[in-house]
């Protein structure tokens, strides 16, 4: 007997049939003696379609109107899910962000939750009702609808779980948990039973798409346990929670990769004070999120500066550089879109020196060139050629003892031996 928040994404509610399945699952949880609250995203591609309509009408639609437009998607799926639950003889009631008491700041399109007024949801639960809450939306202090930005439904679910004091926030998706690496490119990847908030944050930030970073941040701040699990099977997924002693045994928790970034190089930059500052403040001013920055050793008073940024920011980066490069008298700009970032994540790294050295050596032996490096106390990220990302992840996964057949011991194989082993396997 527990109090559970269950969040279902767009894929899980994409059709009347799937909505029926979600209803069945919620009722099973209820029948097992739990109190259940559902949080839903918009059906399938609804949000994209609404964005398309808006752009056909106004190239730069006012944020307030965009929020009211987009918030309708979740209102459709919440009402349909409540109907599906009622069709099976259970009481249900849907709640908009407003009615569920999700109070946000007034930053339209990426509002932050500031408060959860949980009276109506608690009352519904007391009356034996299964409440269904529209994800992704709230209201600001003036009573205007806001939306939380992409993936905001995860955040809604965590916020509601916190607001009503739920035992767990179950986030259902088309993957069945958090893996040590992406199973699509790393066949030996292993599902984690649990992961700490910090490791999960670094994994999300480094490209693992299982959970939204903001939702994990919120969960960490308010101590909400997340259970990331499959919408299609009944098997347990991964619990995201406070770090435990158990978790800290492994040096590396998982390996994330990200192929959505690009590398931009500015050549022949005069090596004067303030040039880099000028360059990067111009980029920041144009909303280019620079990730890693690499500056070569200066030669004859000029140097090359490279940085990585999300592919989605590339157009704005080019725009900025077209303006700033002549101004700082640099020579030329080149862009490499075929890069990948591979990140080792693990709270255990803090107390284990030598992770970086080992990672470099594993990749070096396999002739995988490292183009850039960045680190945090619990993460090591390396930029490599996109074509080599699968090999790199597989090699590191094996080298750091993450393979499913060697869960509790770090393998003692050298990088060369691993490479040989892997080639044999092909």
Binding segment for its own copies (CB under 8 A), chosen from 50-58, 235-243, 261-269, 304-312, is 50-58
Q: Which of 288, 154, 290, 145 is nearest to 214 (CA)?
A: 154
E strand or H helix that includes residue 196: strand 194-196
The first and second tokens of residue 414, run together, are 């050298």
b (16+ CB within 10 A) / e for 394-410: bbbbbbbbbbeeeeeee
E strand or H helix that includes residue 390: helix 389-399
Distance of closest approach, residue 83 Cβ to its own copies, in angstroms: 4
Distance of closest approach, residue 106 Cβ to its own copies, in angstroms: 14
Instruction: Report yes or no: 5 and 164 within 8 Å, Cβ to Cβ.
Output: yes
- Which residue number, 57 or 287, has a Cβ lying nearer to its own copies? 57
Distance of closest approach, residue 60 Cβ to its own copies, in angstroms: 8
Count of helices and strands (H, E) across the chain:
12, 20
DSSP string, 230-263: ESS--S--EEEES--TTGGG-S--EEEEE--EEE
Distance of closest approach, residue 127 Cβ to its own copies, in angstroms: 14
Out of 21, 45, 64, 318, which residue is the one contacting its own copies (CB under 8 A)? 64
Phi/psi-derived region of residue 213, left when phi > 0, alpha when psi is between -120 and 50, beta in every other case: alpha
Distance of closest approach, residue 54 Cβ to its own copies, in angstroms: 6
Cβ neighbors of 347 (< 8 A, separation 6 or more) are 196, 198, 199, 243, 247, 248, 253, 378
Binding segment for its own copies (CB under 8 A), chosen from 73-81, 162-170, 185-193, 326-334, is 73-81
Instruction: Report yes or no: 363 and 383 within 8 Å, Cβ to Cβ.
Output: no
- Which residue number, 20 or 289, has a Cβ lying nearer to its own copies? 20
Out of 12, 41, 47, 94, which residue is the one contacting its own copies (CB under 8 A)? 94
Pairing relationship of beta strands 302-310 and 293-295 according to DSSP bridges = antiparallel
Distance between first and last Cα of the chain = 48
Site string for its own copies, 279-298 (x = CB under 8 A): --------------------
Binding segment for its own copies (CB under 8 A), chosen from 33-41, 71-79, 212-220, 351-359, is 71-79
Distance of closest approach, residue 56 Cβ to its own copies, in angstroms: 4
Distance of closest approach, residue 114 Cβ to its own copies, in angstroms: 21
Binding residues with its own copies: total (CB under 8 A): 35
Contacts (CB under 8 A) with its own copies, residues 134-173? 143
Distance of closest approach, residue 11 Cβ to its own copies, in angstroms: 17
Residue 57 contacts its own copies per CB under 8 A:
yes
Residue 63 contacts its own copies per CB under 8 A:
no
Residue 129 contacts its own copies per CB under 8 A:
no
Instruction: Report yes or no: 158 and 226 within 8 Å, Cβ to Cβ.
Output: yes
Residue 387 contacts its own copies per CB under 8 A:
no
The first and second tokens of residue 58, run together, are 């106004």
Site string for its own copies, 3-32 (x = CB under 8 A): -------------x--xx------------
Out of 59, 277, 297, 357, which residue is the one contacting its own copies (CB under 8 A)? 59
Distance of closest approach, residue 38 Cβ to its own copies, in angstroms: 13
Out of 38, 39, 78, 189, which residue is the one contacting its own copies (CB under 8 A)? 78
Pairing relationship of beta strands 226-230 and 254-258 according to DSSP bridges = unpaired
Binding segment for its own copies (CB under 8 A), chosen from 94-102, 227-235, 288-296, 381-389, is 94-102
Out of 3, 76, 370, 386, which residue is the one contacting its own copies (CB under 8 A)? 76
Out of 24, 28, 31, 62, which residue is the one contacting its own copies (CB under 8 A)? 62
Four-residue CA torsion sign, 9, 11, 15, 17: negative
Pairing relationship of beta strands 168-173 and 3-8 according to DSSP bridges = parallel
- Which residue number, 65 or 167, has a Cβ lying nearer to its own copies? 65
- Measure the CA–CA gap between 179 and 207, rounded to whole angstroms: 12
In this structure, the chain runs to a length of: 426
Which stretches of the chain bind its own copies, using CB under 8 A? 16, 19-20, 50, 53-54, 56-59, 61-62, 64-66, 68-69, 71-72, 75-76, 78-80, 82-84, 86-87, 92-94, 96, 99, 143
């Amino acid at each position: 007997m527990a109090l559970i928040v269950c969040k279902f994404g767009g894929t899980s509610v994409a059709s009347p049939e799937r909505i029926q399945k979600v209803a069945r699952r919620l009722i099973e949880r209820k029948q097992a003696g739990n109190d259940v609250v559902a949080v839903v995203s918009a059906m399938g591609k609804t949000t994209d379609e609404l964005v398309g309509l808006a752009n056909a009408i106004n190239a730069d639609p006012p944020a307030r109107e965009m929020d009211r437009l987009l918030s309708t998607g979740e209102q459709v799926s919440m009402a349909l899910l409540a109907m599906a639950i009622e069709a099976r003889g259970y009481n249900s009631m849907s709640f908009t962000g407003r009615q569920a008491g999700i109070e946000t700041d007034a930053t339209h399109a990426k509002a932050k939750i500031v408060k959860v007024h949980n009276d109506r949801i608690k009352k519904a639960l007391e009356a034996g009702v299964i409440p269904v809450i529209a994800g992704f939306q709230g209201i600001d202090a003036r009573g205007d609808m806001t939306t939380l930005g992409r993936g905001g439904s995860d955040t809604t679910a965590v916020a509601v779980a916190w607001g009503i004091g739920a035992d767990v926030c179950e986030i259902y998706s088309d993957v069945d948990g958090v893996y040590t690496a992406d199973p699509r490119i790393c066949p030996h990847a292993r599902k984690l039973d649990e992961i700490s908030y910090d490791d999960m944050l670094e994994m999300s930030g480094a490209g693992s798409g299982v959970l939204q970073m903001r939702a994990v941040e919120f969960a960490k701040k308010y101590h909400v346990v997340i259970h990331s699990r499959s919408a299609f099977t009944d098997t347990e997924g991964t619990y995201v929670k406070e770090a435990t002693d158990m978790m800290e045994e492994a040096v590396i928790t998982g390996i994330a990769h990200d192929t959505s970034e690009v590398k931009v190089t500015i050549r022949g930059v005069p090596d004067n004070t303030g040039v880099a500052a000028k360059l990067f403040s111009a980029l920041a001013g144009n909303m280019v999120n620079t990730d890693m920055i690499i500056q070569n050793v200066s030669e004859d008073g000029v140097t090359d500066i490279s940085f990585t940024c999300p592919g989605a920011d590339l157009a704005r980066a080019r725009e900025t550089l077209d303006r700033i490069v002549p101004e700082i008298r640099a020579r030329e700009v080149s862009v490499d879109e075929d890069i990948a970032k591979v990140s080792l994540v693990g709270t255990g790294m803090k107390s284990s020196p030598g992770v970086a050295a080992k990672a470099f050596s594993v990749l070096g032996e396999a002739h995988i060139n490292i183009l850039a490096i960045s680190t945090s106390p619990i993460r090591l990220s390396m930029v490599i050629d996109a074509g080599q990302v699968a090999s790199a992840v597989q090699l590191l996964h094996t080298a750091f003892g993450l393979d499913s057949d060697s869960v509790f011991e770090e393998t003692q194989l050298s990088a060369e031996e691993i490479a040989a082993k892997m080639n044999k396997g092909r």
